[in-house]
Structure 1
């Protein structure tokens, strides 16, 4: 039997972020801080990947001659234009999405840091040992970023007139 199969990974990635956010919430409720920064990092990476997959989904569905391997900024401009908005990485929701993309890039392309420094305390030493993304690894930042990605998804679907049913991975029999 022949089937038409549609696989849309943005849903799986957003579901992964949801699961990770729930893990963080449970740990907070239980007073468990063990590994919570790693949970935050995992959730933020899943959110970044879900945005990329979401942009590719909307672009594939709505932008003529969509180029999946184009630069992220170009893809955002095209998808936002189809949605009736100009993309500006310095303003509002677009700024939050852009910051998430930059966080993803800094993690994905992590570079060694080697310095010599004078410190007076362990706290000062810890500060010098931080990665650039460490400031983002808080449950509060995860919550606000999660909500921003959800809002961006709603904005794109509503503006581009894409129903939720059209976004789901599915298989339909086409006979034979």
Structure 2
């Protein structure tokens, strides 16, 4: 029978999910790149969808990480645009949402919100038109608005722009990559034996 012992246990964990999300987004981007190169259209749309949604999550998690590191009383529940502005201000960066790369943040967020708040879309209209069959075929009325993001070019732009923002912010924050990593440790110190 094992003797009971009294120990002092100290532990610390830092779980920084932004790295896991960034890895997932990169995984999807690599799949899209491979399929594009091989002209393989089988499920490439699902990989694009996964990449864009995960990029939006990655960006928000990165802003939460930087906010936690840089701003006392950080509020992770504020809207993503407010988060980016607050972090940028703390770093002395101008976040211009009217142009790239910052405008891309709002595009990936719009795409993410479409799926996070998924709801039916019903559009009804009646009108007459003089057209050709080819022009009618191009209307593609069953294509939802969010499909405009589902292109190889947008995936490349979104990934590149968000990585550019992260690299700039990390440089301004003077944080090493090691400081952004999930890590932890534990120590156990023996105190004495306990009598039953």
Calculate the TM-score normalised by the size of structure 2. Answer: 0.81
Matched residue, 1:31: 39
- Contact (CA 8 Å) 2:100, 2:161: kept in 1 or not? no
Larger Rg, first or second structure (1 or 2): 2
Pairwise CA distance, 1:136: 0.9
Give unpaired runs (5+ residues) of structure 1.
none
1:75 paired to 2:86:
no
Q: How does 1:1-176 map to 2 (within 5 A)?
A: 1-117=9-125, 120=133, 123-124=137-138, 127-176=140-189
* Secondary structure class of the residue paired with 2:93: coil
Residue 72 of structure 1: how far off its partner (Å):
1.8
Matched-pair contact (CA < 8 Å) for 1:5–1:172: yes
- Provide Cα deviations, 1:47-67, integer angstroms capped at 9, x if missing partner: 000001000000001011100
Give unmatched runs, 5+ long, in structure 2. 1-8, 190-196
Asked whether the equivalents of residues 59 and 66 of structure 1 are also in contact (C-alpha less than 8 Å), the reply is yes
Bigger helix share: 1
Provide the C-alpha distance between the structure 1 equivalents of 2:43 and 2:142, rounded to a whole number of angstroms.
17
Per the TM alignment, residue 102 of structure 1 is displaced from its structure 2 partner at its CA by 1.9
Which ranges of 4 or more aligned residues in structure 1 deviate by more than 3 Å? 116-122, 173-176
RMSD of the alignment, in Å?
1.9
Q: TM-score, normalised by structure 1?
A: 0.90
Query: How many positions carry a matched residue from both structures?
Result: 175
* Superimposed CA distance per residue, residues 136-172 of structure 1 (whole angstroms, 9 cap, x where no aligned partner): 1112211111111111110111111111110001112
